[in-house]
Amino acid sequence: MVDAALAVFLKVLGNRAFAVERVYQLDLRAINREESSRGFGGGHVFCAIEREAEILQKTLDGFFKVRHGNSDMVEMGNHRRLNERWKGHKGGRHFSGLGRLMHPLAAAIMPPMTESPPESLLLSPPPAAKTPVQLVTVDENRDGQRIDNFLLSQLKGVPRTLIYRILRKGEVRVNKGRAKPEQKLNLGDVVRIPPLHLPEADAPPKAGNNLLADLEARILYEDKQLLVINKPAGLAVHGGSGIRLGLIEALRQMRPQEKMLELVHRLDRDTSGCILIAKKRSTLTALHDDLREGRVDKRYLALVHGRWPARIKDVKVPLLKNELASMVRVSDNGKPSHTGFTIKQLFDGYTLLEAKPYTGRTHQIRVHAKHAGHSLVGDDKYTEREKNDASAKRGFKRLCLHAACLTFTLPASGEKMRCEAPLPDDIAVPMNALCKG
């Protein structure tokens, strides 16, 4: 009969092995999901499992050598087979009952592991579901939209490469005819979307009640076609790149009755202030045309370091974006860019500016101000750390850039609309504490 000490030892050892199995399955599943596209096979996990197998084997050998003076009493064949499975097996299906492989005595102590691992521990994600053929009639919200953008909105989470592949192969039909990516849809068109194997899309997390209440209070203007909202700093305009919930996702939860809510333009995550949201495709298209033609007037308030020279009223230098680093720099190879600057208030060591971007490049105001020798307060991309540390001691905890005013034409009526968002307290309070220059 197996004595109590040996029974406890083997049970602990078996439990440890089963825990290793579960950790292995979780890690490998993550690798399969995140790194299979790069051809990575999970080698570092197998190295860790191999080391664990050796530790378990040496522990058992040592226990029996001390207890019986002869490690041959352990059925080493089982251990060798276990090591071989750990070293070379890629699937993990042989790991059920791992603890009982350790020693035949363990089987007498531990009950068989009959339960299946939960679905969340499966090594491979469930197969993608195949969608049926879809026939979608173009409504007024999609009238005038390009077919590729239409498909991207209909097939959430589908890679762009797949969208353009099915267009190129002629699998997408508009009114029974082949469609090119640049083709624009008309009201009443019938679009045939072929069956596709689609991964199960992750739904964005539910926005909290406090966030929804705050956004509701921040609406500056709303009608049946659009709304203007005073976006808080720190909230991205949309999800992506590790951000699952942005402004537009929260607004869609706040206005579930709206068939369409789309961003007309964007603001950086750390920038606060006025932003336009369209409720109709025709409104979105009209406002995009106005933006391209310079008929939308956007004014920002920016607090910069130093005393801004009165002679600098315009900065016209081309900007080039580095996609990998998410940075922008002045370069002759960049796109033409133009920002107008007006001094609003001088302080001791700081200047409050009104900035008017005539073009819409990424980080345009921030880079143009830096180029003029006066970077923005709290800018962690383009301002020296020493300056940011000094301004943080004065109470500035964020990028001091605010979209203060937006003037545009209402597409339906032709009426001029001007929306203003007051400077938020996290900028206004420490700024008003500065000595005026």
Q: Is residue 122 part of a domain?
A: no
| Structure confidence by residue, pLDDT tens digits, 387-432 | 999 999 999 999 999 999 999 999 989 999 999 999 999 999 999 9
One domain for residues 184 and 310:
no
Query: Has 202 been annotated as catalytic?
Result: no
One domain for residues 214 and 193:
no
pLDDT of residue 411: 93
Residue 304 pLDDT class (50, 70, 90 cuts): very high
Residue 36 pLDDT class (50, 70, 90 cuts): very low
Coil, strand or helix at 391: helix
Minimum mean pLDDT range among 33-42, 53-62, 304-313:
33-42
- Phi and psi dihedrals of 406, rounded to 5? -135, 120
Look at residue 343 and tell me whether its pLDDT is greater than 70. Answer: yes
The full DSSP string for 325-379 is TTEEEE-TTSB--EEEEEEEEEETTEEEEEEEESS--TTHHHHHHHHTT-PBTT-
One domain for residues 106 and 226:
no
Q: Is residue 121 part of a domain?
A: no
pLDDT of residue 51: 53
Domain extent, residue 142, equals 129-198
One domain for residues 179 and 252:
no
One domain for residues 282 and 409:
yes
Q: Is residue 319 part of a domain?
A: yes
Higher pLDDT, 357 or 121: 357
pLDDT of residue 222: 96
Which of residues 142, 172, 198 is at a domain's end?
A: 198
Q: Is residue 124 part of a domain?
A: no
pLDDT of residue 123: 41
pLDDT of residue 154: 84
Look at residue 372 and tell me whether its pLDDT is greater than 80. Answer: yes
Which of residues 198, 223, 242 is at a domain's end?
A: 198
Look at residue 234 and tell me whether its pLDDT is greater than 70. Answer: yes
The active-site residue, picked from 189, 268, 379, 426, is: 268
For residues 278 and 408, the answer to whether their CB atoms sit within 8 Å is: no
Please state, for a pLDDT cut of 90, what percent of the chain lies above it.
Answer: 54
One domain for residues 334 and 274:
yes
One domain for residues 361 and 213:
yes
Look at residue 301 and tell me whether its pLDDT is greater than 60. Answer: yes
Minimum mean pLDDT range among 21-25, 52-56, 123-127, 381-385:
21-25
Q: Is residue 59 part of a domain?
A: yes
Q: pTM here?
A: 0.62
Q: For residue 378, count other CB atoms closer than 10 A to its CB.
A: 21
Instruction: State the CATH number of the domain containing residue 175.
Output: 3.10.290.10
One domain for residues 266 and 363:
yes
Minimum mean pLDDT range among 44-48, 190-194, 221-225, 293-297:
44-48
Look at residue 31 and tell me whether its pLDDT is greater than 80. Answer: no
One domain for residues 164 and 84:
no
Higher pLDDT, 368 or 152: 368
Higher pLDDT, 335 or 65: 335
pLDDT of residue 326: 84
One domain for residues 68 and 11:
yes
pLDDT of residue 160: 83
Alpha carbon separation from 227 to 206, 280, 362 (Å, rounded): 21, 11, 23
pLDDT of residue 115: 45
One domain for residues 137 and 74:
no
Q: Using CB atoms within 10 A of its CB, is residue 160 exposed (0-12), middle (13-18) or buried (19+)?
A: exposed
* CA Rg value for the chain: 31
Look at residue 141 and tell me whether its pLDDT is greater than 90. Answer: no
Q: Is residue 45 part of a domain?
A: yes
Tokens of 234: 């720190």
Look at residue 307 and tell me whether its pLDDT is greater than 50. Answer: yes
Which of residues 113, 143, 162 is at a domain's end?
A: 113
Domains in the chain, number: 3
One domain for residues 318 and 370:
yes
Q: What distance in Å separates the CA atoms of residue 28 and residue 33, rounded to the nearest whole number?
A: 8
pLDDT of residue 128: 56
pLDDT of residue 54: 56
Write the CB contacts of 23 (distance below 8 Å, at least 6 apart in sequence): none
Q: Is residue 347 part of a domain?
A: yes
Q: Whole-number mean pLDDT of the chain?
A: 78
For residues 71 and 65, the answer to whether their CB atoms sit within 8 Å is: yes
